[in-house]
Amino acid sequence: AQRVTQPEKLLSVFKGAPVELKCNYSYSGSPELFWYVQYSRQRLQLLLRHISRESIKGFTADLNKGETSFHLKKPFAQEEDSAMYYCALFTSGTYKYIFGTGTRLKVLA
Amino acid sequence: EPEVTQTPSHQVTQMGQEVILRCVPISNHLYFYWYRQILGQKVEFLVSFYNNEISEKSEIFDDQFSVERPDGSNFTLKIRSTKLEDSAMYFCASISGGENTEAFFGQGTRLTVV
């Protein structure tokens, strides 16, 4: 079965603290993983994708096929990082996204 | 920058009424989607549309739901006879196709069935 799991509904950290938002997936094919973010009152937008292996807004995520994980990390959280974060699996066979349940990140001053 | 636009932003309807949610995807995109998000729950796939036909639909997308691309620009989701449990945020998304699989989302339509 194709599934994306984000175990934390809410993650609260203090400004300047490290952040790790967990994501695990289940997919028999070759996975294409993404993180989407939704800031307050804004639309869902792409944060980063595993293929590009880039850092966006200080966030990075490494695809670990052995652990079937794609955790999102940032060494020093900022208040403007507060948002809803969704891990998503793109299935190339059916050409669609499967989303995790999302994690709300709150960065406290 | 091109955007996916959805109208209306909020729709209130009585149970049993038909609603049509509208989306204008990005013009050169080939793949179109509807997702929904019930308050406090995850973003759920409803249907994907490619080459003027449904390519996949979820079990949520029953006979009460239909999609159309009537004029090459609009992409609509119709709910024939709304139920209370259809109350949700509905998101339209489009993907250009090929190697670029980034999905561009609309701002959503909040549907409230009373």
Which among B4, B56, B105 is the nearest to A94, CB-wise? B56
Alpha-carbon torsion A104, A106, B2, B8, what sign?
positive
Residues A64-70, mean pLDDT to the nearest whole number = 94
Residue A103, number of CB atoms within 10 A of its CB? 21
- Show which of residues 15-34 on chain B sit within 8 Å of chain A, judged by CB atoms: 31, 33
Tell me the mean pLDDT in the region A39-51: 90
Average pLDDT of chain A, as a whole number: 93
Question: Chain A within 8 Å of B65 (Cβ-Cβ)?
Answer: no
Q: What is the pLDDT of residue A88?
A: 96
For residue A59, pLDDT beyond 90: yes
Cα distance between residue A72 and residue B55, in whole Å: 31
Please give the Cα distance from B27 to A106 (Å, whole number): 36
Of the given ranges (A26-35, A74-83, B86-95), which has the lowest mean pLDDT? Answer: A26-35
Contact between residue B23 and residue B76 where contact means Cβ atoms under 8 Å apart: yes
Residues on chain B touching A95 (C-beta within 8 angstroms): 31, 48, 50, 55, 95, 101
Chain A residues whose beta carbon lies within 8 Å of the beta carbon of residue B110: none
Question: What does the pLDDT read at residue A34?
Answer: 95
Residues of A in contact with B56 (CB under 8 A): 94, 96
Residue A95: pLDDT band by 50, 70, 90 thresholds? confident
Paired strand residues for A107: A13
pLDDT at A46: 94
Instruction: Calculate mean pLDDT across residues B97-111.
Output: 92
In which residue are the tokens 């759920």 written? B44
Residue A29 to residues A16, A68, B29, Cα–Cα distance (Å): 38, 12, 25
A52 touches chain B (CB under 8 A): no
- In this prediction, residues B22-26 reach a mean pLDDT of 96
Distances (CA, A) of B28 to A51, B24, B42: 23, 11, 28
Q: What is the pLDDT of residue B72?
A: 78
CA atoms within 13 A on the CB side of B71: 5
Mean pLDDT (whole number) for B92-111: 93
Q: What mean pLDDT value characterizes chain B?
A: 94
pLDDT reading at B109 higher than 90: yes
> Among B43, B44, B67, B107, which would you mutate to test the A interface (most chain A Cβ atoms within 10 Å of its Cβ)?
B43
Which candidate in A97, A101, A103, A104 is best for mutational testing of the B interface (most B CBs within 10 A)?
A: A97
Nearest residue to A99 via CA among B12, B105, B63: B105
A53, pLDDT greater than 80: no
Rounded to an integer, the average pLDDT of B104-109 is 96
Taking the CA of residue B77 and the nearest CA in chain A, the distance in Å comes to 17
Do residues B57 and B45 lie in contact, with contact meaning Cβ atoms separated by under 8 Å? no
Task: Tell me the mean pLDDT in the region A76-84.
Answer: 97
Looking at the DSSP assignment, which residues form a beta bridge with residue A69?
A24, A64
Which residue in B31, B23, B29, B45 sits closest to B107, CA to CA?
A: B23
